[in-house]
Every structure is written in structure tokens, then in C-alpha cells.
Amino acid sequence: MPRPIAKKRFRRPPSRHAGKEEREVPLFCACLGLTKGEIEAAIAEGATTIEALQEKLGIGTGCRTCLPLLEALLRGE
């Protein structure tokens, strides 16, 4: 069962929830409106595990469909 906070996230469009302007860059995490570049920046700042990225960005805590892509990114694929 999803955590209540995750359910609340999905009540608004991702870009509005993330506080970002509309953009044409493909989203890596649609739930939070995160791009690959934002995730790579967090990795460069030291968030080098899924758990660290979840703590820093919240990625992978909503619908979780980005987790396989996130795992591949962390493996350098």
C-alpha cells in the first residue's frame, strides 16, 4: 500500500509539484518532474546509492517505475 505522502504527490501535475517551469527535456521521474541531468547532478554531489537519491530527491518513492532506469544509471549504463 502506498504511503499517504506518495498519494498526495499524485494529486498535482509533476511539474507543479516539483516547483519547476514547463520544459521540453524528457523526464526521468514523472512523479516528481526530475530530469536525468538533475539526477546526475545529485550523484556528482555524492548521492551514489538509490537510498541516498531517495533521501535527497525523493526519486523512486512514488510509482517506482523509474527505479530500473535509476539502477542502470548508477551502474553507468
The enclosing domain of 53 has a CATH number of 1.10.10.1100
All cell numbers assigned to 45: 554531489
Number of structural domains in the chain: 1
Which DSSP string corresponds to 2-55?
--HHHHHHTTS-HHHHHT-----SPEEETTTTEEHHHHHHHHHTT--SHHHHHH
pTM: 0.66
Q: Which three cell numbers stand for residue 5?
A: 505522502
Domain that holds residue 61: 4-75
pLDDT for position 77: 85
pLDDT for residue 12 is more than 80: no
Pick the more confident residue, 14 or 42: 42
As a whole number, mean pLDDT of residues 4-14 equals 51
Residue 23 has pLDDT above 70, yes or no: no
Q: Tens digits of per-residue pLDDT, 30-74?
A: 999 999 999 999 999 999 999 999 999 999 999 999 999 999 999
Instruction: State the amino acid at position 54 in one-letter form.
Output: Q
CB atoms within 10 A of CB 26: 8
